[in-house]
Amino acid sequence: MLATLTDRYFSDPAWVFERKLDGVRTIAVRTDGGEPQLWSRNHRLMNAAYPEIVEALAEQGGESFVADGEIVAFDGRQTSFAKLQPRIHLTDPVRARATGIQVFYYLFDLLSFGGTDATSLPLRGRRKLLERAFDFRGALRLSRYRNAEGERFLREACEKGWEGLIAKRADAPYTSGRSRHWLKFKCVKDQEFVVGGYTDPSGSRAGFGALLVGYYDDGALRYAGKVGAGYTDAALRTLKGRLDDLAVSSSPFADRVREPGSHWVEPELVVQVRFSEWTGDGRLRHPRFTGLRTDKPAAEVVRETP
């Protein structure tokens, strides 16, 4: 179940409001007492990247369940997708632990438990089952919500430097796909973009200068601008290797891109970008790279508008 962005903030006793976390959305599945499995939005198994969460689910959950939540790492008091980056792509649990990056799995919904489907229950009913289903210690955490006070809670969230809130209709069932029963209240502007190319580096910089990014609109990849800030040296090296493997001779963008020293790639990589606003001609203002996403398919990346 996916949330819809809105800029119409409200308070309502029929809704609950919880912290928007900056991590990797994850569905946890366990069947007949077997090893729990962690699945990303694009159906990628992530057990090797987060072995301690798999262990915690096996120790604290029942024999069979399907739960929804977000895997996060903290930078101080803030959840940080950038901090999580070194673990996201790992396929060896020993290397994942060796990063020293502590991760937590915040659960916020329960789809089934003990073989019984819970998706038709209202959210409050599913939450009561969730609270009883796990112990929520160690790597497992319960995502707390606040009743009714959406606008006041949003002000507090923004003052604390959070991503924002997710507003959820308390009597709604759990449905697949994007829904207006879950809404995003954002304190900052950020979203995913598809990489369609890059520019040459300048000065002492290695790898590339900026990523050329876009989003899909009716099947066409629209150009949104270049992203030249936010990269570590390690990110520049890793991304350049991926870009070289995806090189093509012509631009994948539907729009004409006039950037000197441009190179083109198959539009497969998805990156997370934070920015201040959209310009009048549909470009990103002050964009900053925050991470490479492997949990979201490129074809689903669209421009988020309230």
Q: What is the pTM of this model?
A: 0.82
The CATH code of the domain at 22-142 is 3.30.470.30
CA atoms of 157 and 77, how far apart (whole Å): 12
Tens digits of residue pLDDT in 200-230: 998 878 899 999 999 999 999 999 999 999 9
Task: Kindly state which CATH superfamily the domain 189-300 is placed in.
Answer: Nucleic acid-binding proteins (2.40.50.140)
Query: Of these residues, 20, 168, 186, 296, which one is catalytic?
Result: 20
Judge whether 20 counts as a catalytic residue.
yes
How do the domains of the chain map onto residue ranges? 1-19+145-187, 22-142, 189-300
Mean pLDDT of 133-158: 96
Across the chain, mean pLDDT equals 95
End-to-end alpha carbon distance in the chain: 18
Q: Give the up-direction half-sphere exposure of residue 63: CA atoms within 13 A in the CB hemisphere.
A: 5
Tens digits of residue pLDDT in 252-275: 999 999 999 999 999 999 999 999
Same topology, domains 1-19+145-187 and 189-300? Answer is no
Tens digits of residue pLDDT in 25-35: 999 999 999 99
Tell me which DSSP letter residue 174 carries: P
Split at pLDDT 50, 70, 90, the class of 16 is very high
Q: Please state which CATH class domain 1-19+145-187 belongs to.
A: alpha beta
